[in-house]
Structure 1
């Protein structure tokens, strides 16, 4: 069962023409729409299902700078700044709280990796620091594990995915954006060698530019155009507890669990050290590109072969703009919860902080993460298709960096000075 998103009043009325069409109503697409209307640029957001119904509402809600690579850290820093002003900007509290994030190290080797990261980002002036086991006990009391050290960033934060997307969408609509749900984009329409509009299941909309922010669906959309975007799906299983007294407001990540306090008084918990990879034909097509990243970042990926493989085979890879698209056949991708990972998360966490033995699970869900070979998103123009810009492939970081990534994409579309250097995210590094 997916998290319940606070409802947004969208529209069924589509304009015949606009300036920008955004494909995808997740946090990046909605944030881009907000930036566009604030700059006086007409925009229509088209979502094949319900807004933020996939990973944008299913993520952990962490907003962090900690452990970002040096090339990616500026985007995270700008995202934090934008999150700080989100309640005032939208008129709705998105649950943003700078209550800190801490990564725990059981061993000296793990602590050394944290120290190496601190050294790599020293020039950025972050408030991140190594803390001792005694400091961990003071900051997150009640634990039974003897931790070697922790990497703590007091200014890191959290927000509520089920509130934040609603806040951003509501503000964008109030300022003039058009948001249409249950309307899939089947294809782009071209004229004179550049984008001239989009073909939807309800008809065509003329536009000057298109922003593709389709998450795990972006690869299939581009593939229909003969453009290869290497992204693979990884499923994360998550649970939330009923309201309870817990050890801290600080969000905590260890090698085999994580938890963070929720605005409703409960906790969001996952098995941080393991993700599930439901095998699909794409794993056979492009999987070898991921071997270096798997060794470095996702060593504990659980692999399964079953219904997802057959379901993916059944979805078309190529289709005409007059035909029903895969996006109409699957309005919302709702992966199965991996109960084994849920059990592991609760067992590992309860052993470390026994107070969680008293936790009552209120809900479990799973979300699908679109992962690139270098774990960095693709943000920028597609040279082969003038008028098309991408903001996708966020590799599990889309919620935290979403507002900044969206602004960067809009900057690049409109010729404004970019919020941060777009070089790490250039599409040509991955597209083929």
Structure 2
């Protein structure tokens, strides 16, 4: 069952004939870009093929972290910390943001060494991360019986609530002038002399000066229709939420085979951190070689399988005309099957480490599909040789945490700002 998203007010139903910017995709990055543009008095229309935040933006774990990010990705995460703290004022709503810290723990010297390596490499960034002993872990998250070699903790990391944040940002964007329309798939771009002049949707055309593609896992297929190859592959993360509990562990905790963090209602969000389902697709044959360096040593992390998703993906068109029904109308919301096996393993592993969770009752379970790039960093960039198109996609499972900064950076690039939020060089499309 998909998470229940807070309601969004005053959604539009009619396409305007024209605007300055069209955003394709109603996930949290597209929504934050829309809010940023609306705050700058830039006319913007956001179009979502299904329901706002209906896919990974409401299904993720809600972590907001710098710890263990690639060093090149940390400036974006630092900017996101500041913007998350400002989001309640910007949206006039609680987005569930709490700077409650994140703790990664390791059972083996090898796991601890990997955390120490990251800690040493990022010391100059002054993130406040610190290595912890097993005793310090027990003091921070008591009543455990796990045998830990140690861990790493960053007090300025935190969490927010996916089902609250996206809706709050959407409502704020609308209140500030953005137009947001659900159930309106963009089929293709209107292009003249290598310049974007608008978009073709299932409900008609809309003229615009700029387009931002923030389509998550659908971005590869959308660009592929224009013979632009975006190297992303799908993985599925299954998640469970417990009923409210009378224990109060504030930091989010990640171990090799489970993770948990407190939900705003007192329950806990839990996943099997050591396993992701990786359904095989035709794209694995087309671009799989690009991912081999990333996959070395991680074959046990991905549960690779050939199943129903291969056929359903194969049946979706890869090329279509603007006057034809697009794949985005045939699949409004990607709702992959939950792996109850992985969820059960996660809960059992957590119970073995913290017996307090023996009394945890599962309230709901869901899964979401993540688009990963070969280096696990997103593309946030203008497209060469096609003026007027910017991409913000491929967030590889950590887009929610950086979304306020990613959306603002994308808006900066769309409007050709001379002073973007951060240096966008790490997110260039050309690196692939």
Q: What displacement does 1:247 show?
A: 5.2
CA contact (8 A) 1:274 1:298 kept: no
Give the structure-1-normalised TM-score.
Answer: 0.98
User: Which residue does the alignment assign to 2:389?
Assistant: 388
Partner of 1:36: 37
Alignment deviations for residues 349-402 of structure 1 (CA, whole Å, 9 cap, x no partner): 000001111100000000000000000000010012110000000000110001
For residues 350 and 119 of structure 2, the distance between their equivalents in structure 1, rounded to whole angstroms, comes to: 26
Write the distance in 2 (CA, Å) between the matches of 1:202 and 1:247: 49
Structure 2 match to 1:200: 201
* Partner secondary structure for residue 415 of structure 1: coil
* 2:2 matches 1:2: yes
1:205 aligned counterpart, secondary structure? strand
Partners of 2:272 and 2:383 in 1: CA distance: 36
Three-state SS of the structure 2 residue aligned to 1:369 is: strand
CA distance in 1, matches of 2:413, 2:308: 40
Aligned to 2:135: 134
Q: Deviations over 1:379-428 (max 9, x none)?
A: 01001211000000000011000110111111112122111111110011
**Residue 409 (structure 2) pairs with residue 408 (structure 1):** yes
> Is 2:170 the counterpart of 1:169?
yes
Structure 2 vs 1, CA of residues 297 and 42 (structure 1 numbering), >3 Å: closer, same or farther? farther
1:253 corresponds to which residue? 254
Structure 1 SS opposite 2:72: coil
Aligned residue in 2 for 1:231: 232
User: Does the 8 Å CA contact 1:141/1:247 hold for their aligned counterparts?
Assistant: no
Alignment of 1:1-20 (within 5 A): 1-9=1-9, 10-20=11-21
In 2: Cα distance, 1:87 partner to 1:240 partner: 24
Distance in 1 (CA, whole Å) between partners of 2:295 and 2:103 is 23
For residues 169 and 334 of structure 1, the distance between their equivalents in structure 2, rounded to whole angstroms, comes to: 22
Q: Secondary structure at the match of 2:348?
A: helix
Moved over 6 A (4+): none
> What is the aligned partner in structure 2 of residue 191 from structure 1?
192
Which segment is superposed worse, 278-287 or 95-104?
278-287
Contact 1:20 1:209 in 2 (8 A): yes
Question: Which whole-Å CA distance do the structure 1 matches of 2:27 and 2:42 have between them?
Answer: 19
Aligned equivalents of 1:87, 1:410: Cα separation in 2: 20
Output one character per residue of 1:190-218: Cα deviation in whole Å (capped at 9) or x when no partner.
Answer: 12320000000000000000000000000
Residue 119 of structure 1 aligns to a residue whose secondary structure is helix
- 1:424 counterpart (421, 426, 429): 426
Which stretches in structure 1 are left out of the alignment for 5+ residues? none
Q: SS at 1:420's partner residue?
A: coil
Q: Equivalent residue for 1:276? A: 277
Matches of 2:142 and 2:285 in 1, distance apart? Answer: 46
Question: Once the two structures are superposed, what CA deviation does each residue of 1:29-55 show, in whole Å capped at 9, x if it has no partner?
Answer: 000000001111000000000000000
| Contact persistence 1:142–1:247 (CA under 8 A) | no
1:177-202 deviation digits (Å, cap 9, x = unpaired): 00000000000001232000000000
Kept in 1, the 8 Å contact 2:56–2:368? The answer is yes
For 1:245 and 1:235, locate their aligned partners in 2 and report how far apart those are by CA, in whole Å: 30
Change (3 A) 1:234 1:348: same
Contact conserved, 2:76 with 2:406, CA < 8 A, in 1?
yes
CA drift of 1:70 comes to 1.1
Equivalent in the alignment of 1:216: 217
Q: Partners of 1:211 and 1:405 in 2: how far apart?
A: 12
Tell me how large the CA RMSD over aligned residues is: 0.9
Tell me whether 1:154 sits opposite 2:155 in the alignment: yes
- Partners of 1:202 and 1:139 lie apart in 2 by 54
Structure 1 residue matching 2:336: 3-state secondary structure:
coil
- Equivalents in 2 of 1:148, 1:125: separation in Å? 24
Between 221-230 and 283-292, report the one with greater CA deviation: 283-292
Aligned counterparts of 2:178 and 2:149: Cα–Cα separation in 1: 50
